Amino acid sequence: MIKVNGNYLKLPGSYLFSTIAKRVSEYKAANPDRQVISLGIGDVTQPLSPSVISSLHEAVDEMGKRETFRGYAPDLGYDFLRKAIAKTDYKERGCDIAEDEVFVSDGAKSDSGNIQEIFDAGCTIAVCDPVYPVYVDSNVMAGRTGTYDAKTERWSNVIYMPCTAENDFVPEFPKETPDIIYICSPNNPTGTAMDRASLQKWVDYANEHGSVIIYDAAYEAYISEESVPHSIYEMEGARTCAIEIRSFSKNAGFTGVRLGFTVVPKDLKDSDGVALHALWARRHGTKFNGAPYIQQRAGAAVYSPEGRAETKALVSYYMENAKVIKDGLKDAGYTVYGGVNAPYIWLATPEGMKSWDFFDRLLEGANVVGTPGSGFGPSGEGYFRLTAFGTHENTAEAIRRIRSL
Ligand code: MLT
């Protein structure tokens, strides 16, 4: 008789965004005349930019000709893309990252869920709270998180580092030393970002304690303040303690195209001197056949001069929404955070309402979908996330409706 991986059975409920999607489609089915606006999942709404589209067309045409047809992509990524990434995202920012330290993938969600596989099952993890649910769920699946307490909504073997208005959304060093530390900056869900000084302290901490930082920089393109680093490798010593994950979804609108990458520096080693780079390469080789050529060509277009200008324009478009949401809600008396270096606005629910109650109130009273803060962890209770990835029209309308609640 087969037996399933029992760790999966420990997961409470379905994945956060699947739960929300289900509730929204039930609501829509019961209320077909209502125009529901989604500011829930961070999915983009603007079309792919012209240089991306023309690269996609060219690549498709190449695939249709015998001389330029390509089969399996190199499992770690095409050189043309790895080079463009190393040069633009790292060397131009003064970061010492080589192209063969860049692993191209089908997206940051997969990488942030899969990266834990290269660590021992006994490693302890620390997460910011609230947290992007993938980090915790993927470690639950790996059997690393202990038991779940439904009352406190905490796993016994996970170190939660509250990130709240009281600590300016910067995690404090935990009492116990974690082996793996997840940091997402600019942050999903709070929309806040760590400055250089704070991140340098975490890099120093990780090097002193022999921990690894898994740094999710998926929202890097949204940074507007000088004091916020674009990469953890801007910090001294990060090559020996940090893995960085990036996405094309949020900057270039690739949520439906799928492309991302992870950087694993060769200097990053475990306590026995084993290089994590070699392990991640081994994992890619065994479990991944490379992101498709067509997508990688589209990714390379993002790094062309035209592509870079188009990305800037896309980011500005969404950040105008962030301002509309932030200003509109502030004006209406809400306490709001984020929205300056990230496309997320994190608001305190009115009168300390439970996050899911506020979700219902917004859905039923304003026909607007957001994301309940408690879905991101215990410290998210009493908060709510709105995304700036909508259209200008829908965003303005959603805020108008929320204000008239
Ligand atoms: C979110 O809404 O948190 C993100 O879109 C989820 C993701 O990128 O996987």
Strand (E) or helix (H) holding 180? strand 180-184
CB 343 within 8 A of CB 42: yes
Q: What φ, ψ does residue 284 adopt, rounded to 5°?
A: -55, -45
Confirm whether 13-47+307-403 and 53-305 share one CATH topology.
no
* CATH class as words, domain 53-305: alpha beta
User: What per-residue confidence (pLDDT) applies to 13?
Assistant: 87
- The atom of ligand 1 lying closest to the CA of 189 is 3
**Alpha carbon distance 163, 26 (integer Å):** 33
The structure's pTM equals 0.97
CA dihedral 135, 136, 142, 147 (to 10 degrees): 170
Tokens 């949020």 sit on residue: 250
Rg of the chain's alpha carbons, rounded to an integer?
Answer: 21
Tens place of pLDDT per residue across the chain (405 aa): 999 999 999 999 899 999 999 999 999 999 999 999 999 999 999 999 999 999 999 999 999 999 999 999 999 999 999 999 999 999 999 999 999 999 999 999 999 999 999 999 999 999 999 999 999 999 999 999 999 999 999 999 999 999 999 999 999 999 999 999 999 999 999 999 999 999 999 999 999 999 999 999 999 999 999 999 999 999 999 999 999 999 999 999 999 999 999 999 999 999 999 999 999 999 999 999 999 999 999 999 999 999 999 999 999 999 999 999 999 999 999 999 999 999 999 999 999 999 999 999 999 999 999 999 999 999 999 999 999 999 999 999 999 999 999
The rounded Å distance from CA 133 to ligand 1 centre is: 9
**Alpha carbon distance 101, 44 (integer Å):** 29
Q: Where are the domains positioned within the chain?
A: 13-47+307-403, 53-305
Mutation test residue for ligand 1: of 188, 255, 259, 386, the one with most atoms within 8 Å of CB: 188
The rounded Å distance from CA 42 to ligand 1 centre is: 5
The rounded Å distance from CA 331 to ligand 1 centre is: 27
- The atom of ligand 1 lying closest to the CA of 109 is 9
Q: Is 247 in the pocket of ligand 1 (CB under 6 A)?
A: no
**Alpha carbon distance 255, 364 (integer Å):** 28
Of 381, 34, 19, residue with least CA distance to 189 = 381
CB 238 within 8 A of CB 232: yes
Q: Is 42 in the pocket of ligand 1 (CB under 6 A)?
A: yes
Mutation test residue for ligand 1: of 39, 45, 109, the one with most atoms within 8 Å of CB: 109
Q: What φ, ψ does residue 331 adopt, rounded to 5°?
A: -55, -35
In the 8-state DSSP scheme, what is residue 175?
A: S
User: What per-residue confidence (pLDDT) applies to 123?
Assistant: 98
Q: Report the CATH superfamily, name and number, of domain 13-47+307-403.
A: Aspartate Aminotransferase, domain 1 (3.90.1150.10)
Q: Is 385 in the pocket of ligand 1 (CB under 6 A)?
A: no
